[in-house]
Structure 1
Amino acid sequence: MTRFQHSDPTYPLFPVFAFLGFLLPLIPLPWHFQAWNSGTCWYIFWASLSCLNQFVNSIVWAGNTVNSAPAWCDISIRIMMGASVGLPAASLCINRRLYHIATVRAVVITKAEKRRAVLIDSLICGLFPAIYIALQYIVQGHRFNIFEDIGCYPDIYNALPAYFISSMWPVVIGLISAVYCVLSLRAFSARRAAFAQFLSAHNALTPSRYLRLSALALTDLLCTVPLAAFTIYLNATATAISPWISFADTHFDYGRVEQIPHLLWAADRNSNIAVELTRWASPFCALAFFAFFGFAAEAQKNYARAGTAVSTAFWSGMGRFGVKRPTSGIRKIRIPRNF
């Protein structure tokens, strides 16, 4: 199918939001990295990577379904698969950390304990999505689809095993995260004095940052479980659930690529909702993160430091060419006494 005028009337709205979703969460990354907030760093990683993936797809396949980059699509669909559990897993790690902070019994946390926490978060947010991606091959009907205006899209064979291998895990992770969220709120209300003492001993985690992490995790939780459950409902009702015959039957003609014009995938209401929810979820998560952390007082201080550093470097470079930095303020003029 050849390129023609964009069939999406909102174009380029989504690419703009996807690019902002890729770029903006990276801004607070350095100070979360310094604070050993590994769950938050993984959240930034999955949100930014997912938005970058969606941005590229929305640009390359705007108004066409040409299979112009098959190797990219093989990578792209796996990024989508990983992000579908990577973001909820990162939210789980954030809630888990908040729970441990709320129930802390010792004011001082050793470096060994910090490393152990980072390792556990990395297993949950890195290794688990990698295993999840590998398992999707079992229920992947063919190589991939290309949706016009959307781009590369994985094809999951709508059979009963797909609901256990693919669909249920965001819900399971979200429910575990909800348990940690409730327990941390309960522990926080019961042990406020010890909690305040812990925060006063750790400059990296201020009360405002703790509350913003809690708000982010709660927001993600309120979106993850309902959205994942609704996606399961759409998959179960959009088309009939096919019987699982065999692995060979599921992967018959596996190498094919289905190219689906906008008119076809948008004509079906359930398909349209599922596709749009899937692609807008990542920019929403990324921009929600930036809304919580990109305008905080500590962020403004970092922006000021970065601006000063850039300005100093610029005028230092210009000084080599004889250009001096203009002085601020009003120049004082000496007036003679007999004026």
Structure 2
Amino acid sequence: MNRASPDQGMPLSHQHRRQLLRLLLAFTAFFGAIFVVVNFFAERYWLMTIEAALVLLVLLMLPIVQGTYHLRRWCLFYLVSLYAATIYALASPTTSITVFSWVMVMPITAHLLLGRRWGGLFSAFYLAVAGGLFLWRFGTALVVSSPGATANVLAVTAWGYMFSHFYEARRESAERELSQQALTDPLTGLPNRAQLEQAFQRAAGEGALPLSLLMLDLDYFKRINDAHGHATGDAVLRRIAETLREQTRQQDVACRLGGEEFCVLLPRTDVSQARHLAERLRAVIEALRCHHNDAVLALTASIGVACTTTPGEQLDPMLHIADKKLYEAKFGGRNRVVY
């Protein structure tokens, strides 16, 4: 049996951050080993020991992050370990001023691994500590004597922070937009089948029982397209979508499955309540008069109802039952509810 990917169902950035963390771990191990040798010959044994511990730690993390479902925790653990080692190096009186060059890349690393909010807070804290350590070690005399060099370091550090923060903000916005497009029907703006599956799994996981499902199909919709054109048919579908939004509760999920077929997920709704809502929807649709160009169209709908009280129920069996009831309504004369 194939094991599900730990990135399945996760945000688009999840796999990207997993690969990035693996790259950073390999980079840290490689250069950490070099610094172990350098510090050994420089007789900085405490720093050498910390570098060696960091190298061992990241080597142990490499196989773990490949398949973990808790990627954010491991990203945070890596950053805390890396930042602790660099802060020790910054504070050590035996290291040169060049060790502070690592400060400039840390905000980029934090933003890429933790995102805009947590990466920004994490790196802001680190920069404040690093600035304090710099003044503690070298005082203000160095700043006064080399204002140009100090300004360059501050400018590059601020640039790195602002660039990574802005990049993450734009990337997160683009990811949200792409995710929304992937889960939304472009014609009606309703959730699509993929979002319905997510909502069903969430409701079933939260124990929102009883859980009901309405399957709704417009009667003789093909005649509208044939007689008035697809633009009129699209206008009708958008009007039905508005009606479903108006007639359902905030916790309900109305979606378009395709064509003239719609579905409504009803958490914490028994079969009697679901039937009552279905009858109301049927009556409201029957009373609608859809105006498009010169056409005034009357509509009816057939609705099938399915309900479950079983924990851990799956969506497909529920859809199958609701679809079967829907066709019973169709063959029974249309414009009716079957449950």
TM bin, normalised by shorter chain, reads: under 0.3
Q: Which structure has more RCO (C-alpha within 8 Å, separation ≥ 6)?
A: 1
TM-score (norm 2): 0.24
Q: Which has the higher strand share?
A: 2
TM-score (norm 1): 0.24
Task: Answer with 1 or 2: which has the greater Rg.
Answer: 2
